[in-house]
Amino acid sequence: MGLFTAINIASSGMSAQRLRSDVIADNMANATTTRTNEGGPFRRTRVVLRPRVQQPYWRSPFLPQMMDNGPGKGVRVVSLEKDQSPLRMVYDPNHPDRLLDGPYKDYVEMPNVDVVTEMVDMLEAVRAYESNAQVVEGYKSMFQKALEIGGR
């Protein structure tokens, strides 16, 4: 592993969590949007993350067998997906986007965004971002100490 590998890994995590926070904020902002450009109510968006794994050029004999591919190289965003879970039906006969016929007459299709779930996801993203920032700070202080020792 190179000198800055841990910082690169942590920075990939910070970038991914920042995008997650932005998507969660967008979900919460549109929690009551009943009309979109695509037609119909807003649907919750989810961020799909996967590890960035590359074959290492050198394998340490001290790594456990379950880590055959090496320690990894961080995380990457694979896609942003719309949540296809059912929309909420809310009775509101005065709403301009209410259904006009069928069994749900005078109901409005509301977004499938649960504000409580979004808040929990936001807290998780913020904590993960902070954890990665602590890794970067730890490595910065370790490098600083190494420079102090080498300068003597």
User: Would the CA dihedral through 99, 102, 106, 111 be positive or negative?
Assistant: negative
Judged by DSSP in three states, 107 sits in: strand
- Which element (helix H / strand E) includes 127? helix 115-150
Report yes or no: 41 and 33 within 8 Å, Cβ to Cβ. Answer: yes
User: Among residues 39, 41, 27, 44, which one has the least CA distance to residue 85?
Assistant: 44
In angstroms, the CA 115 to CA 102 distance is 29
- For the chain, helix, strand, coil in percent to 5 are 40, 15, 45
Mean pLDDT by 10 residues, the chain (152 residues): 80 96 97 93 96 64 57 86 95 93 92 97 97 94 87 72
Q: Which amino acid is at 26?
A: D
The confidence score (pLDDT) of residue 1 equals 57
In angstroms, the CA 133 to CA 127 distance is 10
